Amino acid sequence: LESFTQPGAKQAGKQLEDRLRGMGLLVYYYAITDPSVHPAQQQLDALLVVMMVLGALSLGLSAFLIINMMNALVAQQVWQIGVMKVIGATGWRVTRVYLTTALIYGLLSLLLAVPLGALGAHLLAGRLLELFNVDIGPLRVALNAVLIQLVVGLVVPLLAALAPVLGGARITVHQAISNYGLGAGFGSSWLDRLIGAIRRLPRPMALSLRNTFRRKSRITLTLITLILGGAMFIGVMSVGASLSNTLEVLLGDFGFDVLVGFERAYRIERLVEVTTSVPGVTGAEVWDQQAGQLQLAGGEEREVFLWGVPSNSKMLKPRLISGRALLPGDDRAILLNSKIAADENIQVGNVITLTINGKESSWDVVGVIINVNNLQRDNFVPDDALAREFSSLNRGGLVMLTAEQHDAKSLQNLTRDLRAAFDAAHLESVQFQSTADVREQNQTQFKIITYLMLVMAVLAAVVGSIGLMSTMSINVVERSREIGVMRSIGGTSAALLGIFLFEGVLVGVLSWLVAVPLSYPGARLLSDMVGKAFNLPLDFDYSTTGVVAWFAIVVVLSALASLWPALRATQVSVREALSYE
């Protein structure tokens, strides 16, 4: 068609169907799709919504990182702030100096973020579109995305830097020149007293424990960053586990091992006879599948697929959300896919109109089910009712069979034997699909969701480790004289290295202890969000693997983040430390 319209496409389909039938060809159905809308557009839109939520969380973590960096800068230049105030600088002038610094950081980040963001988006879009067999075309930069980057890159650093800069601007001259970094005031709070009461620890470890909580506001920001990163990571892993768990549950709704599709409908007795004659087959049922159009209230149509199920089927055990299963004696009853029901606001008890084989018919919705196959377009009806629409009673085009062995290798060998048996019986089989194939197809769409969210979670973990590195760097700067005192009384480089490394790992472990209980409700919320986005209620599965993996990741990241500041501490000489200003 030169221009797509539903009525025009329907008319063209009908004319083509009549012409093919006039040529003696068998036409089961024709489907109408809008060429400007991909069949998976809704799933992709839902994925983008989830990514936007995770991106917003990552932006929040970046704000904490900026706060930590500005805290580090102010702490490192406390003496300079005191000098500026001595020679007449006001608090407003100090504030302008450091806010300008934050703005410069934002501008420098944009120089990298804009081109890298465009390139990364292009590569990611290419990967996503490849899954849907769509060519991406040349690299294009979205102007609105660049404008958002500019606003975020300039506004967020200024807002995040405001609190530490104002805190630094309020420092008095006396506070600036009397700050020796020796932990004055430690022991005044209940937490300090609790830490001080811990005995029988090696002295370096006890010192690390005390130093960890010396600057409580700073360590709190660092912990929040790591906790959020950990909660995101465990939550994403739990979403992946929930998706896999849901898929396994839904695959269990179909008790077949191999599905065989045929070129046309054959007599049910003949199909069962040939199928059960193959060694390794323990049972067989003849189903059918046809396409139809659901008539919507506005006169539009929606493509659906109908599975004709025998009344005595032992293989279909649908997962009902509401209503009941199909019963013997049901006529035009339908188990409607939950996505279709949610999109079109259809409930159990409603009567829907379907166009099947060019004829309209009314069907009673007796149940709403969850089914992820075929982009959630599959629905189930009695096979006799579907056969009457095509005048093909006692015939079917699908064989669902069970096997003695269920592993992939055995099913592959069974498929080969089935193909040979059907060829010998002159039954034209065109499709062989095992449960392993169905699992792989559905896991593909789930894996891309999990991988994308996992990338965001890993980025959050990296942001948290950078925040820890900046905190440890501040600690080294503030404790320069303390380091000098320890060196002067015999402290070795190995002892100093151990103190700072243990301090960083301790922060990481503490964040893990808090992130684990917080991640459970967060994981449930994220799983519900993903389920609602895809109209697929997930069977929640909290990922213990994610909990263990995050512990290993946060310990390694904390050690690496502390390594460089710790090495800097070992390189501070006694003379440099005691003369530090």
Higher local confidence (pLDDT), 68 or 200: 68
Half-sphere exposure of 464 (CA within 13 A, CB side): 36
Give the model's confidence band at 572: pLDDT under 50 very low, under 70 low, under 90 confident, else very high: low
Answer yes or no: are the C-beta atoms of 74 and 168 closer than 8 Å.
Answer: yes
- CA pair distance 443, 445, nearest whole angstrom: 6
Its sign, for the CA torsion 533, 538, 542, 547, is: negative
- pTM for this structure? 0.66
Which residue from 181, 164, 178, 177 is spatially nearest to 94, judged by alpha carbons? 164
| pLDDT recorded at residue 196 | 58
For 498-526, the pLDDT digits (tens) are 777 887 788 888 889 999 999 999 889 88
Per-residue model confidence (pLDDT) at position 184: 46
pLDDT of residue 279: 93
pLDDT per position as a tens digit, 174-225: 776 665 444 444 455 555 565 555 666 665 566 555 666 666 666 777 788 7
Instruction: Find the mean pLDDT for residues 27-46.
Output: 66
Name the 3-class secondary structure at 458.
Answer: helix
- Rounded to 5°, the CA angle 410-252-42 comes to 110
pLDDT at 548: 92
Above 80 in pLDDT, residue 109?
A: yes
Rounded distance, CA 263 to CA 399, Å? 12
pLDDT of residue 379: 92
- pLDDT (average), residues 348-376: 87
Is residue 29 scored above 60 in pLDDT?
no
Out of 40-44, 82-86, 206-210, 420-424, the most confident range is 420-424
What local confidence, expressed as pLDDT, does residue 199 receive?
A: 61
Among 29-43, 317-331, 349-363, 529-543, whose mean pLDDT is lowest? 29-43
In this prediction, residue 201 carries a pLDDT of: 60
Q: Among 403-412, 472-481, 545-554, name the most confident range.
A: 545-554
Q: Average pLDDT, stretch 309-335?
A: 87
Average confidence score pLDDT of the chain: 79
Task: Of 579, 563, 449, give the one whose Cα is nearest residue 499.
Answer: 563
Q: What percent of the chain has pLDDT over 90?
A: 12
Q: Of residues 190 and 86, which shows the higher confidence score?
A: 86
- HSE (CB half, 13 Å, CA atoms) of 348? 12
User: What's the pLDDT score for residue 180?
Assistant: 47
Summarize the confidence of residues 319-336 as an average pLDDT.
90
pLDDT digits (tens, 9 = 90+) for 443-459: 666 667 777 777 777 77
- Please give the residue that has the higher pLDDT: either 340 or 430: 340
Q: Cα-flanking dihedrals φ and ψ of residue 218, to 5°? A: -70, -45
| pLDDT at res. 244 | 80
Asked if pLDDT for residue 28 goes beyond 60, the answer is no
Place of tokens 């409603």: 350
pLDDT at res. 38: 65
233, 552 Cβ separation under 8 angstroms: no
Whether pLDDT at 106 is above 80: yes
pLDDT at position 198 is 62
Mean pLDDT lowest among 79-83, 257-261, 543-547: 79-83
Picking from 456, 549, 540, 460, the residue whose alpha carbon sits closest to that of residue 240 is 540
Distances (CA, A) of 268 to 10, 252, 275, 282, 402: 33, 25, 11, 17, 17
- Residues of the chain above pLDDT 70, percent: 79
User: Where does 23-142 have alpha helices with state H?
Assistant: 41-76, 78-86, 91-131
Q: What is the mean pLDDT of residues 22-50?
A: 67
CA distance 401 to 260: 8
For residue 547, what pLDDT is reported? 92
Higher pLDDT, 57 or 387: 387
Beta bridge partners of 258: 401, 434
